[in-house]
Amino acid sequence: MKKDEDDELSTKEMLNILLQSQERTMEIALKATVSPSKEERDEDSRLKKELERDWTEDQRMKVVDLEELPSQFDGNAAVKCGDWIHRITPTISNLSRKASTYWKKTMEVVHKRYKEHLKATPLGRLAMKYTEEP
């Protein structure tokens, strides 16, 4: 009977530990999803101010007409598209002070997704869904 009490006690202890662990996990999850930390709020505020400054101080911002993307039906569509991207990159990069950074990040995402597309099977390509990149 002593062994049963010991087994029962260890089961109770294990359940308590499990419940405490779950409660702690829920607290962490709620903090992560509900309220950002002070550092995150400060960083968001800094980024918003920087963006506002870019729009008010940047004198290079303008509307431009980009060269038209060549037709995909004329042959060598991939090469023509690559050439087109190469030709428009300086124009896009010069729209504002941050445009170059934005364009580089955009092209990184495009290249990453294209590599995923090439690796996928034909049915896998149809099922691919992409979320917004941070």
Name every residue whose Cβ is closer than 8 Å to that of residue 130 and which is 6 or more positions away in sequence.
113
Please indicate, yes or no, whether residues 77 and 133 belong to a single structural domain of this protein: yes
Q: Is residue 46 part of a domain?
A: no
Q: Is residue 4 part of a domain?
A: yes
Nearest in space to 109 (alpha carbons), one of 134, 85, 129: 134
Rounded to 5, what percent of the chain is helix, strand, coil? 70, 0, 30
Position 51 scores a pLDDT of 66
pTM > 0.85: yes or no: no
Provide the domain limits for residue 17: 1-29
What is the pLDDT tens value at each position of the chain, 134 positions in all?
555 555 555 666 766 676 676 666 666 666 555 556 677 777 777 777 776 665 555 555 566 788 888 888 888 888 898 899 999 998 888 877 788 888 898 899 888 888 988 999 989 888 888 777 65
Position 76 scores a pLDDT of 87
Q: Is residue 8 part of a domain?
A: yes
Q: Is residue 54 part of a domain?
A: no
Q: Is residue 41 part of a domain?
A: no
Total domain count, the chain? 2
Q: Is residue 21 part of a domain?
A: yes
Position 3 scores a pLDDT of 52
Position 49 scores a pLDDT of 73
End-to-end alpha carbon distance in the chain: 60
Tokens read off for 76:
């060598």
Instruction: Work out the angle at residue 129's Cα, subtended by the Cα atoms of residues 124 and 130, and round it to the nearest 5 degrees.
Output: 130
